Amino acid sequence: MFQLPIDDELCLVLAEERHAPVMTELIVRNQRRLARWEPWAEQPATIDGTRAYIRAALEDFVRGRQISTIIALDGGRRYIGRCGMRINPYAGSGDVGYWVDADYEGRGLVSRSARALISSVFEAHGLARVELRTSVDNQRSRAVAERLGFAFEGTLPGGLRFARRADDVALYSVTAERWAALMTVATQGGR
């Protein structure tokens, strides 16, 4: 099992089919809140649907096109959300995404998880750039992008399509060079 330790409290665990029941329960508990920001969350969550997503994500993992991890506390025993990266190996870029259980918002867990995953993917896959896309109205997600040092590139009108609406998307990015500089500053205590 792939596991990326972050610190004494937090780690990222590669999503496997055995995680489908607990992840489905997390989605159901947070469905209304997630559906405001994530088009996939508008559909009812089922164990079979979650299992199918995980299976497809694992196939993409083997091909080097995606890393879908579960944010876990207590040495990987308590699952609280998801942090993943879609990878375009031909463009040398990635697209990071995340969500966390409402009970764990505001604790910096998403920022720490995304930072660890982004660092790992830059190192392992040699990407030139990582993007972060979120609804322009999703202030929490935009704050994560800014805390991580991503640059705001602009707005994609109607870029997030829901069943009955479309949200404009705030596009953020960071290059490998900028990320390396940010991590150097962070390890020297400047961030």
Share of the chain above pLDDT 90, in %: 93
Average the pLDDT over 162-187 and give the result: 95
Average the pLDDT over 94-102 and give the result: 97
Provide the residue ranges of all domains of the chain, joining segments of one domain with +: 3-187
Euclidean distance between CA atoms 148 and 55, whole angstroms: 30
The pLDDT, as a whole number, for residue 1 is: 60
pTM for the structure as a whole: 0.94
CA dihedral 11, 14, 17, 20 (to 10 degrees): 40
Euclidean distance between CA atoms 180 and 99, whole angstroms: 25
Residue 190 pLDDT > 60, yes or no? no
Check: CB of residue 96 under 8 Å from CB of residue 130. yes
Confidence at 62, pLDDT banded by 50, 70, 90: very high
β pairing state of 93-100 and 129-135: parallel
- Superfamily for the 3-187 domain: Gcn5-related N-acetyltransferase (GNAT) (3.40.630.30)
Residue 189 pLDDT > 80, yes or no? no
Contacts of 66 (CB under 8 A, 6+ apart): 57, 60, 84, 85, 86, 87
H/E run at residue 152:
strand 151-161
Share of the chain above pLDDT 70, in %: 98
Residue 191 pLDDT > 60, yes or no? no
How many other CB atoms are found less than 10 A from the CB of residue 91? 10
DSSP notation for 39-95: GGGGSPP-HHHHHHHHHHHHHHHHTTSEEEEEEEETTTTEEEEEEEEEEETTTTEEE
Average the pLDDT over 10-17 and give the result: 96
3-state helix, strand, coil split of the chain in percent (to 5) is 45, 35, 25
Residue 127 pLDDT > 80, yes or no? yes
DSSP notation for 1-17: --EEE-SSSEEEEE--G
